[in-house]
Amino acid sequence: MGSIMEGKARSEVFSLKPYVPGKPVEEVERELGITGVIKLASNENPLGPSPLAVARVQEALKQLNVYPDGACYYLRRALAEHYGFSEDSFLVGNGSDELLRLITETFVGPGDEVLYGVPSFSEYGFMALIMGGVNVEVPLKDMRFDLPSMLDKITDKTKLVYICNPNNPTGTITGRKETDQFMKSLRDDVLVIFDEAYYEYVTDKDYVSGLEYLSQGRNVIVLRTFSKIYGLAGLRIGYGITTPEIAGLVNRVREPFNVNLLAQTAAIGALSDKEHLEKSREVNIQGREFLYREFSRMGLEYVPTEANFIFVDLKTDCRRVFQALLREGVIVRTGDIFGYPTYIRVTIGKPEENQRFIAALERVLQA
């Protein structure tokens, strides 16, 4: 069957490596026959969603027979009030993943170059390959995006540049001075996508958002999400902020009704709940400091983070540690998928989850 289909499928399909998500709790419990597993692998908010978002979803359940608002009018209006940009500056998608696909479908054709640092979010390259684009990968320098080296890689074929800020999996940021210099030196016809999925967790004063460059009239798209600090990962909803012209082009390739009714209404509730946002941020800061202290006590090197996860060097095979932690009922992310075979990426959880992770990690490393 495969050989018959091989000539039918587009050639780009054969170069794709499917995205592998973090293991679900249910799968680990089923496979190992254990209960009470905790997941610190996918950078989810350990506090869950805002109560205001949950209440809105419960109310909206009565309307499941009705198609959602294809234009996401009320959510875009809420985002416009929140940010001070016009409603037609916003794109809303079925998670940021869909927006990455729509942006690529809009701007990238065969032979066009897409530029980004590695390791970073694998979907940048995945989407480009689907469209026959050429991925130009620039290694990180000191675990951060190397913007001067990225600038050197710009050619007349460069269509998109991705800056993941804070970066996943390292949690590092690109600071104001280097980002300003990069943007100043970049041609106007190159579209820069600032992926700011973890923006709300940042505490470093040197951070600069892509929204500043958008306000200056530059061709940028700033991607943000309701999956992380807002705790709506299960509903799949992300958004982009850009110029009305760019938003209009991307909307041409968007499917009708791409964002479901529950996701739209939950997002409006989540956006209005400043108390839940602050609480989530505070839990993250306290958890970060606890894990820093514990890693230092254990003699483990880690990358200081501006996100809700930490990239830590175990100085041993991460796969073996990962499997042993699974048997302890703790799910983390291995670093080998990012090219770092001795690292793991651990999501910062609630205090009791962080303590349980450290206790399990100590047992595993001692064994």
Q: Residue 1: is its pLDDT beyond 60? A: no
* Share in percent of the chain as helix, strand, coil (round to 5): 45, 15, 40
How confident is the model at residue 15, as a pLDDT?
A: 75
Containing H/E element for 302?
strand 301-303
Pairwise CA distance, residues 146 & 58, whole Å: 45
pTM for this one? 0.95
Are β-strands 343-347 and 333-334 bridged in parallel, bridged antiparallel, or unpaired? antiparallel
Tokens of 58: 């419960």
Q: pLDDT (tens digit, 9 = 90+) per residue, 308-364?
A: 999 999 999 999 999 999 999 999 999 999 999 999 999 999 999 999 999 999 999
Which residue carries 């597993």 as its tokens?
37
Taking residues 115-127, report their average pLDDT. 95
Query: Rounded CA gap, 7 and 70, in Å?
Result: 37
Residue of 197, 210, 204 lying closest to 167 (CA atoms)? 197
For residue 294, the model assigns a pLDDT of: 98
Q: For residue 323, what are its two tokens?
A: 């499997």
Burial 194-232 (b: 16+ CB within 10 A, else e): bbbbbbbbbeeeebbbbbbbbeeebbbbbbbbbbbbbbb
Secondary structure E strands in 155-259 = 158-164, 191-195, 220-225, 238-241
State how far the alpha carbon of 304 is from the alpha carbons of 143, 197, 293, in Å: 10, 18, 12
Helical ranges in the chain per DSSP H? 2-6, 25-32, 51-60, 73-83, 95-107, 123-130, 147-152, 176-185, 211-215, 244-253, 261-272, 274-297, 318-327, 351-366
pLDDT of 2 strictly over 60: no
CB distance 79 to 230 below 8 Å: no
As a whole number of angstroms, the longest Cα–Cα distance in the chain is 58
pLDDT at 117 over 80: yes
Chain mean pLDDT for the chain: 95
pLDDT score for 287: 98
> How is residue 175 annotated by DSSP?
B
Rounded Cα distance between 312 and 334, Å, is: 10
The answer on pLDDT for 20 being more than 80 is: no
Whether the bond into 119 is cis, omega within 30 of 0: yes
Write out pLDDT tens, residues 27-55. Answer: 989 999 999 999 999 999 999 999 999 99
* Residue 220 confidence (pLDDT) above 70: yes
Task: At 362, list the tokens.
Answer: 């100590």
**pLDDT, tens only, 155-195:** 999 999 999 999 999 999 999 999 999 999 999 999 999 99
In order of their start, the domains of the chain are 2-48+275-366 (3.90.1150.10), 51-273 (3.40.640.10)
The pLDDT confidence band at residue 303, using thresholds 50, 70 and 90, is very high
State residue 299's pLDDT score. Answer: 98
pLDDT level of residue 6 (50, 70, 90 thresholds)? low
Distance of CA 52 to the CA centre of its chain: 23
Assess whether pLDDT exceeds 90 at residue 21: no
pLDDT per residue as tens digits for the range 67-106: 999 999 999 999 999 999 999 999 999 999 999 999 999 9
